[in-house]
Amino acid sequence: MKNFKPFGPSIGKSKISKKFLEKLNNEVDTKIFSKSNDYSSKLASQIRKEVQISKSFIKKNLEKELIKNIKIFLTKEHIKKIKEIRILNLWVVSQYKNEYNPIHYHEGDLSGVGYLKIPKHMTKNKNVKNKKIRTNGTIDFINGQRAFLSKSIFNLIPKTGDLLIFPNYLMHTAYPFNIEEERRSFSFNAKIIFNK
């Protein structure tokens, strides 16, 4: 886990295990077309396929690794006296060409995003003369306003296996891309309960 501060709030970046990736991808592959698991109506996105993951699956297969990473993130931020960390919810976003997630924030105290599948040439931008611009399929974190010696936007190019943890109020967006492949990620919200 590496914590960094591109502006006010910290963001933690780590890697999720191959076992975690495989279990969650397999779960999504079995549920992606089921209407009973459709979560897209509850989210801010302009994405057709979003799947809610059951609390029992999270507890059995994902919770331990997520909580471990959250604890490391909070320790590096000198946050102590943690009594409990609760994963409130977790869902998977199956994003395709021209779909996007508008600027939004989350519930809970901490949120996270992990990347399960990333198309190989996702950031290539066919329609822009400046080939250095690579926002296709990337994530932007937004905080405050642009000012002298102060950034307000932090752009990150995701890689398969990346896990990002950040405060729930930190606004962010996922950009569309223009190739015919799936960009699959998961998001979660967590509640931190402190000892009195």
Cβ burial 97-129 (10 Å sphere, 16+ → b, else e): eebebeeeebebbbbbbbbbebbeebbeeeeee
Look at residue 82 and tell me whether its pLDDT is greater than 60: yes
Write down the mean pLDDT value for the chain. 89
Q: What is the pLDDT at residue 74?
A: 97
Under DSSP, the state recorded for 82 is E
Q: Model confidence over 170-196: pLDDT tens digits?
A: 999 999 998 889 999 999 999 999 987
E strands, the chain, in order: 2-4, 11-15, 49-52, 82-95, 101-104, 110-117, 139-142, 153-156, 162-167, 171-174, 183-194
Task: Provide the 3-class DSSP secondary structure of residue 106.
Answer: coil
CA atoms of 31 and 87, how far apart (whole Å) = 21
Domains of the chain: 2-194 (2.60.120.620)
The model's pTM: 0.90
The first and second tokens of residue 143, run together, are 């905080």
